[in-house]
Chain A
Amino acid sequence: MSAHPLASIREVGRYALFVGRLLAETPRALLRPGLVVQQVYNAGALSLVIVMLSGLFVGMVLGLQGFDLLERFGSEESLGTAAALGLVKELGPVVTALLFAGRAGTALASEIGLMRATDQLAAMEMMAVDPVRRVVVPRFLGGVISMPLLAAIFSLIGIFGAQLVGVQMMGVDPGQFWSQMRGAVEQADVMEGVIKSMVFGLSCSAIAVYEGFHAAPTAEGVGRATTRTVVLSSVMVLLLDYMLTAVLL
């Protein structure tokens, strides 16, 4: 973002217009599901390993820290509830979005930026093919669809990780672990996580495709777009997380 306030406001306006255009083109893009499915694979399936590994380790840390804390109050049986709520409502959507920005977001921005730098977008224009409709919207939708799925997988693997540490290593009763979790985690908690991951997916994907599409057609321009994608997405995810938590709690 530019330091000048007016320039920042203009940039926000350009973002809003661009997102409006993406949303307006979405119904037409859905008529060609093959293009969107390909991008769900690129943004989602190719991020699976990093999301699953991260989910496992975050869940294991949560299991250790949660056990240590709850044991002080003699309520280590509540570990399942604490881990599940923490993962489903907060850590799942937020950490997945940060990982998504780092892996899929940068890939999207650099791919589209390189297409601009190598005249591929201009060539499409010359072939009377709208690059926003053909290139940008399917990638945007691929990200929007992938994010909630990745966040759900992150949370599931995270709960498994917490169980691995809490039950298998620390000796928490497995019946208590699962039954307390089932009793305490409500549908509203899950919906909070789903809404957050959808909003984060929309925001991270929009930032990535905007930065890539508007990158200067040089190596430096593409690098700058990639960096801006990670920085803006991360800040936006944390800001939106606070705002959504305040609204949804």
Chain B
Amino acid sequence: MDSTARDERIVEVTGVRYAAGERVIFDGLDLNVRRGSVTAVMGPSGTGKTTLLRLISGQASPAAGSVRVFGRELAGQSRAEVYAMRRRMGMLFQQGALLTDLDVYENVAFPLREHARLPEALVRMMVLTRLEAVGLRGAARLMPWELSGGMARRVALARAIVMDPELLIYDEPFVGLDPISMGVVLRLIRELNDTLGITSIVVSHDVEEIAKVADQAWLLSGGRVVASGAPRELLASEDPPVRQFMRGLADGPVPFHYPAASLRDELFGEGP
């Protein structure tokens, strides 16, 4: 691979094997994320999407294979090096994960206060501009419990971008949101990506929604990538696993029934 192509890849996952106890989650996972893109990572529940984010953010290490972020191999990095890398990325958690003892303003200011000794006027300017970007400048003095689910996620987004990250990771950003809030978050994902010139990775089940904003999508199943490409290509695919997931079919390669003995044996045979 030439160096230009590698420079274009902000995240490279190659041949990753990862197991949680006895359960193998990834077995030979390969994917990459292009700089400047919005990349969707999709797949059935329990397929390891959140685990992938943990691998990319250095919260977990693969048993085999390589995870490179910003051109650097994560394996063997010290805690300080991992922390230095994380300062270049932001992450939006499923429920926002706002600090409940701080108001909206202080939540957004939190990374600034922890990592930089800035004059209060500058902190105020940075916080208010980020809150303005997510449309919540007026909510600066509300406490987290006074926010709706959508507002909490927007505040968390403002916090995630306050340190000007190069990579922004969204873990299931649409879960539990009403259609209006979902539309707002979708618009923010695209707008922030383009106006700030960052790269976004979005883990989501919402095929239709994410297809509107993603440049590239990776579909995971059974511990590996089963399809990748533009979301519209995946939606049009006739490949059975892709078709089942993208069209939301109840039965298919991922069976409706959890593996079990036959119902006849269970009901009329000798019990376990």
Report the interface size class on chain A.
10 to 19
Given A127-B114, A129-B111, are A122 and B97 neighbors across the interface (CB < 8 Å)?
yes
How distant is the Cα of A134 from the Cα of B100 in the complex, in angstroms? 14
Are the CB atoms of A118 and B83 closer together than 8 Å?
no
B156: A residues at CB distance < 8 A: 123
Are the CB atoms of B93 and A119 closer together than 8 Å?
yes
Question: Is A120 an interface residue when CB atoms closer than 8 A count as contact?
Answer: yes
Are the CB atoms of B91 and A128 closer together than 8 Å?
no
Tell me the minimal C-beta distance from A43 to chain B in angstroms. 14
Are the CB atoms of B87 and A126 closer together than 8 Å?
no
Q: Which of B59, B87, B100 contacts A118 (CB 8 A)?
A: B100
Question: Is B216 an interface residue when CB atoms closer than 8 A count as contact?
Answer: no
Are the CB atoms of A119 and B59 closer together than 8 Å?
no
Return the CB mask of A18-44 against B: 1 if under 8 Å, else 0: 000000000000000000000000000
Question: Is A125 an interface residue when CB atoms closer than 8 A count as contact?
Answer: yes
Chain B contacts with A in 36-91, Cβ cutoff 8 A? 57, 59, 83-84, 86-87, 89-91
Are the CB atoms of A127 and B95 closer together than 8 Å?
no
Given A126-B86, A126-B91, are A119 and B97 neighbors across the interface (CB < 8 Å)?
yes
B91: A residues at CB distance < 8 A: 123, 126
Tell me the minimal C-beta distance from A209 to chain B in angstroms. 16
How distant is the Cα of A78 from the Cα of B79 in the complex, in angstroms? 62
Are the CB atoms of B93 and A129 closer together than 8 Å?
no
* Nearest chain B residue, comparing its CB with the CB of A135: B99
A120: B residues at CB distance < 8 A: 97-100
How distant is the Cα of A115 from the Cα of B91 in the complex, in angstroms? 17
Tell me the minimal C-beta distance from B63 to chain A in angstroms. 21
A118: B residues at CB distance < 8 A: 95, 97, 100
Chain B contacts with A in 141-176, Cβ cutoff 8 A? 156, 159, 163
User: Which of A's residues lie within 8 Å of B, judged by CB?
Assistant: 114-115, 118-120, 122-123, 125-130, 134
User: Which of B's residues lie within 8 Å of A, judged by CB?
Assistant: 57, 59, 83-84, 86-87, 89-91, 93-95, 97-100, 110-111, 114-115, 156, 159, 163
